[in-house]
Amino acid sequence: MRILCFSLIVLTLSGCRFYYEEKTPQDPLDYSKLTNISYQTVNKEIFQPKCISCHGVSGGVNLESYAEVKKHLSAIERTVIVDKTMPKNGSLSNGQRELLAAWIRAGAPENPEPEPTPEPLKPYFTSIKAKIIDRRCIVCHSTGGAASGVPLGTLKEILDSPRELVLPGNPDESGLIIAVERTDKKRMPPPENGNPLSQEEISVLRKWIENGAPESETSGPNQPNPTPTPSPTPAPLEPTFVSIKQHILTKRCISCHSPGGKASGVPFLTYADLLSSPREIVLPGNVDESGLWIAITRQDDKRMPPTENADPLKADEIEVVRKWIEIGAPEK
């Protein structure tokens, strides 16, 4: 008999415990609901399904509107959160209680905060990096990536690249634009990795480069990029060896007049090459008898650059060479 009573008691208590678990579901809080939490959320999740059946217009504490809920906020907090005596059937889950508690802690706002408008893509590096490079390029174009040899992580890396990725002021010949606009399999991002950049994105990239590739909004459009570029605008052509070499010899002569070239016997690499050559290439102060002058002004097939290779030097280039020799062919 005692055993039977004991068994009955155990069974009853087990049932109660089972009922308790059913009464307080362990559903965890869905944290996404905390974003922009408002009366609309808790009303939909809690008040409507769990409270209104008793706390409607039928009488007692009314919870059918925000105003009414706000009036009874303290009581709600005490009975639902602290004492857990409400709802009477104990049907709120832990997650729902947490949601209600979070809403009360946030000041019980009626309406959600408006979603912030995403920052639009703008023609400066920090914006382009955040919205294009970091999303579409950096996986490959960074250390350890498939294209780690062409890093795109910083503006300096991009501007310093010998691959002329960005030529400030010249989008048409910038490697970055060529790469994103091309339609063959060398397009970037690679066709196998996804869609090309949108027209808007390409347009902003072009604008950025056109404006001198500024780093940030404060750098301003058309202001010189504070990061040194690998190919700064060269100084104008002047009657010095250094300037003539930069503007004329390097571009028009050195491919032949250097080791391995067709005219390797007449090198043009150094100042001494021109002034000390037994061929009297440059006779300081004596334009008419300087070999260089004769070569660039003659009209026959021995003109330099050779007629089959290129156009003759321009008139202003010839004039600077003349002036240079006339004033004694200074080095600098």
Among 107, 144, 162, 278, binds another protein (CB under 8 A): 162
The yes or no reply on residue 144 touching another protein (CB under 8 A) is: no
Among 11, 13, 310, 327, binds another protein (CB under 8 A): 310
Backbone angles phi and psi of 248, in degrees to 5: -120, -60
Q: Give the residue, chosen from 172, 200, 280, 319, that forms a contact with another protein under the rule CB under 8 A.
A: 172
Check residue 327 for interaction with another protein (CB under 8 A): no
Cα–Cα distance measured from residue 84 to residue 19, given in angstroms and rounded to the nearest whole number: 16
Please choose, from the candidates 155, 216, 138, the residue with its C-alpha nearest in 3D space to the C-alpha of residue 166.
Answer: 155
Which parts of 288-307 interact with another protein (CB under 8 A)? Answer: none
270 binds another protein (CB under 8 A): yes
Of 116 and 259, nearer to another protein (C-beta) is 259
Work out the number of other CB atoms within 10 angstroms of the CB of residue 68.
14
Candidates 182, 298, 302, 314; binder of another protein (CB under 8 A) is 182
Longest dimension (CA), the chain: 137
Q: Does 146 bind another protein (CB under 8 A)?
A: no
Nearer to another protein, 14 or 309 (CB): 309
Minimum distance of another protein from residue 230's CB (angstroms): 5
Q: Using the rule CB under 8 A, is 255 a contact of another protein?
A: yes
Residue 91, CA atoms < 13 Å, CB-side half-sphere: 10
Q: Which of residues 229-248 bind another protein (CB under 8 A)?
A: 230-231, 245
Q: Is there a contact between 158 and 138 (Cβ–Cβ < 8 Å)?
A: no
Task: Choose, by CB under 8 A, the member of 178, 202, 283, 294 that binds another protein.
Answer: 178
Q: Which of 95, 145, 169, 175 binds another protein (CB under 8 A)?
A: 175
> Encoding tokens for residue 40?
């609309």
> Tokens 């995403």 map to which residue?
118
Of the candidates 161, 329, 306, the residue with the CA atom closest to the CA atom of residue 245: 329
Residue identified by tokens 């059937």 is 89
Rounded to a whole number of angstroms, the CA Rg of the chain reads 40
**Side chain identity at residue 28, one-letter code:** P
Does position 330 bind another protein by CB under 8 A?
no
Question: Any residues with CB less than 8 A from the CB of 172 and at least 6 apart, and which?
Answer: none
- Of 104 and 140, which has the nearer Cβ to another protein? 140
* Residues at the interface with another protein (CB under 8 A): 149, 162-164, 172-173, 175, 178, 182, 230-231, 245, 250-252, 254-256, 258-262, 269-270, 308-310
